[in-house]
Amino acid sequence: MSITRDLDLTQGPLLPHFRALAVPAAFGMLFSTLYNLVDVYWAGRLSTEAQAGLAIGFQAFFIMMAIGFGLGAAMSALVSNAKGSRDTSSVRAFALQGIAFGVIATLILMVLGWIVGPYLIALVSEPGGYRDAATGYFNWLVLSLPGFFLAYGANGILQAHGDTVTLQRGLIVAFFANVVLNPLLMFGVPGIWDGMGFNGIALSTVISQTGVMLWVLRGVFALDVLRDARLAELRPNATKFRQITAQLLPASTAMMVMFISGFVVQYALKGFGEDAIAAYGVALRIEQILLLPVLGMTGALLPIIGQSFGASDHQRVKDALFLCWKIGSAMSVFAMPLLWFGGRYAMGLFTENPAVIDIGASYLLVDGFLFPIYMMLFAINSFLQGLKRPIWTLWISVYRQGVGVALFIWLYVGVFGLDVWGVWFGIGTAVSTGWIVALLVARRVANQEIAKSLATANVRRSDTHSTLPP
C-alpha cells in the first residue's frame, strides 16, 4: 500500500479537498518564504550592498527556474487529467517520463546558467560591490538547480494525486537546516575555519534543497501507481516528451516573463540607487508571506480542476473556480490592511536603513490594492492549466508582466517624471489591466473546452451504441 497521500478529487464536497491540499501547501510555502527571509536577514547583517546583491542574483537564478515551475505545472495538469479519466497507464508513463525530462533539462540549464548568468546580472546592475556579490552568489546557486528543478517536477506528480504534505515536510526541514547552515557557512567556526562570507548563503541553499529533492522523489516512488518502476521506463519517449513540452513551454515562458519583469523593475530602480533595489527585494519577501494562503489555495485548484475535467465533470470545474475566488476574497479582506498599515513595521524587521524602509513601505501600500487582483489572476492560471490550455497563461503574462510593466513604468517615470512611485504605479496599472484580459480569456476558453469535451463524449457514446448488437 502507498505511504503517499492519493486522493480522488472528483468525488465529495469541494471545500474539504481545498483544505486538504491548500493548508499543507501554504504551510510549505510559508517555510519556503521564511527560508528566503533568513537569507535576506543574514545578507543584511553584512551590508545593504549584500542585500542588493542577493536580490539581483536570486532574480537571475529564478529565470532559469521558470522551466522547473513549468515542469511542475505540466506534471500536475497531465497526471491529474489522466487520473481523473482513470487512465492508470498514462499516469505512470507521464510520471516517469516527467522525471527523465527533468534530469535532462537540469543538466542543460546548469551549463547555460554559468555561461549566461553573469551577463544577466551585469544588465541590471552597476559595476561595484553589489554586482560582484550577485555574480558570486549566482555561480554557487546554480549547483542547487537539480534540487529545485526535480523537486518541483516531482511535486507536480504528487500534487496531481492530492498530496501536498510531502513537499511541506521537506520545506520545513530545509528551513531549519538553513537557519543553522547560513551563519555556519558564512562566518565559519572561530579558530578553525573563517567561513565563506556572502557565498555561504548560496552553499546552504545547495545543501538543503538537494535534501528536499531526495525527499520528494522518495514520495513519488512510494505511489502505488509507480510500484516496481523499472529503469528502462525512464528512457526518453519522444511522444511523451512532446506532450510534456507542450504543457511546460507556455507555463515556463509565462513564469520567465514574470522574472524578466522583475529585471525590468530592477532596471528602472537602479536609477534610484541600491537602497531602492534592496527595498524592492525585501518588500517582495513580505508580500510573499501574505500571498502564501492564496498561493496554496490557487495551487490546490489546479489538480481539482485537472481531475474533474479529466472526468468530464464540467459543473464541478466551474464550482471549484468560483469557490476558490470566494475564499480568496475573504483572505484579501484580512491581508490588505496589513499591507497598508503594517508595511513600515515589517520592513523594519529586516533593515535599519530608513531609506530602504520608506521605499519598501511605499511599494507595500500600492501592493495592498493589488492583492485581490493577484488572487484572481493566480486562480485563472490554475484554471487554464487544469484544462490543459497553458498557452493562454503565456499571452496574459506577456501583456501583464512584459509589455504592460515596461510600458507603464516608462510612462510614469520617463514621461511624467515620477520617482519610485512611478515604478509602483506602472506595476499596478499593468496588473489591473491584465486582470481584465485574463477574465475575458478564461470565459472564452471555458466555453470552447467544455463544448469540445461534450462533443467528444457524444462521439464516444455514439461509437459505443453503433457496436451493440441489434
Q: Quote the CA–CA distance of 399 and 257 in Å, as a whole number.
A: 9
Q: Into how many domains does the chain fold?
A: 2
**Residue range 412-434: average pLDDT?**
91
pLDDT in tens, 121-150: 877 666 777 777 888 888 888 898 898 889
Pair (159, 281) in one structural domain: no
Question: Regarding predicted confidence, which is higher, 281 or 429?
Answer: 429
- The alpha carbon dihedral of 294, 152, 95, 380 has a sign of positive
DSSP-derived letter for residue 190 is T
Average pLDDT over residues 264-275: 81
Q: How many Cα atoms are found within 13 Å in the side-chain-facing hemisphere of 152?
A: 27
Q: How confident is the model at residue 4 (pLDDT cuts 50, 70, 90)?
A: low
Domain boundary among 215, 236, 257: 236
Is 147 inside a domain boundary? yes
Average pLDDT of the chain, as a whole number: 85
Domain end (from 209, 236, 263): 236
Q: What is the pLDDT of residue 431?
A: 92
What mean pLDDT comes out for the span 151-177? 92
Gap between the Cα atoms of 419 and 357, Å rounded: 16
- Does one domain contain both 380 and 446? yes
- The grid coordinates listed for 6 are 492519493
* Eight-class DSSP state of 257: H
Query: Of 180, 213, 236, which residue sits at a domain end?
Result: 236
* Residue 468 pLDDT: 41
- How high is the pLDDT of residue 439? 93
Q: What range defines the domain where residue 270 resides?
A: 248-456
pLDDT of residue 1: 39
**Which pLDDT does position 248 carry in this prediction?**
87
Q: 220 and 267 share a domain?
A: no
Q: In the predicted model, is pLDDT for residue 338 greater than 50?
A: yes
Dihedral sign for Cα 158, 159, 164, 168, please: positive
Q: Which residue, 322, 360, 354, 316, is CA-closest to 342?
A: 360
In this structure, what DSSP letter does residue 109 have?
Answer: H
Q: In this structure, is residue 271 part of a structural domain?
A: yes
Residue range 438-456: mean pLDDT, rounded = 79
pLDDT digit string, tens, across residues 188-246: 888 888 888 888 888 999 999 999 999 999 999 999 888 888 888 889 999 999 999 98
Residue 125: the pLDDT is 66
Same domain? For 294 and 398 the reply is yes
Residue 461 in this model has a pLDDT that exceeds 80: no
468 in a structural domain: no
Please check whether residues 262 and 131 belong to one and the same domain: no
Q: Are residues 256 and 224 in the same domain?
A: no
Average pLDDT for 416-439: 92
Give 438's pLDDT tier (boundaries 50, 70, 90): very high
Mean pLDDT of 422-444: 93
**What integer is the mean pLDDT of 402-415?**
90
Considering the chain, what percentage of its residues have pLDDT values greater than 70? 93
373 within domain boundaries: yes
The model's pLDDT over 38-94, given as tens digits with 9 standing for 90+, comes to: 888 888 777 777 777 787 787 778 777 778 888 888 898 899 988 988 888 898 999
Judge whether residue 251 has pLDDT over 70: yes
Q: Rounded to 10 degrees, what is the CA torsion of 210, 216, 222, 226?
A: -90
| Same domain as 302, residue 212 | no
Asked if the structure places residue 470 within a domain, the reply is no
- Is pLDDT at 15 greater than 80 in this prediction? yes
pLDDT of residue 124: 64
Place of cell 523594519: 348
Helices (H), 85-164: 88-123, 129-141, 145-160
Given a cut of 50, whether residue 469 has pLDDT beyond it is no
Give pLDDT, residue 470: 45
Count other C-beta atoms under 10 Å from residue 30's C-beta: 20
Residue 209 counted as domain residue: yes
pLDDT at site 463: 47
Question: Are residues 89 and 58 located together in one domain of the fold?
Answer: yes
Question: How is 44-76 classified by DSSP, letter by letter?
Answer: HHH-HHHHHHHHHHHHHHHHHHHHHHHHHHHHH
Kindly state whether residues 300 and 442 are assigned to the same domain.
yes
Task: Establish if 241 belongs to a structural domain.
Answer: no
Taking alpha carbons only, the member of 163, 153, 141 closest to residue 69 is 153
Residue 462 inside a domain? The answer is no
Query: Measured in Å, how far apart are the chain's first and last C-alpha atoms?
Result: 44
Mean local confidence (pLDDT), 290-317: 88
267 and 398 in a single domain? The answer is yes
Examine the domain organization and report whether 160 and 267 are in the same domain: no
Model pTM score: 0.76
Contacts of 7 (CB under 8 A, 6+ apart): 17, 20, 161, 162, 163
For residue 383, the model assigns a pLDDT of 93
Other Cβ atoms less than 10 A from the Cβ of 89: the count is: 9
266 and 361 fall within a common domain: yes
Express each pLDDT in 85-95 by its tens digit: 888 889 899 99
Give the model's confidence band at 464: pLDDT under 50 very low, under 70 low, under 90 confident, else very high.
Answer: very low
| pLDDT of 380 over the 90 cut | yes
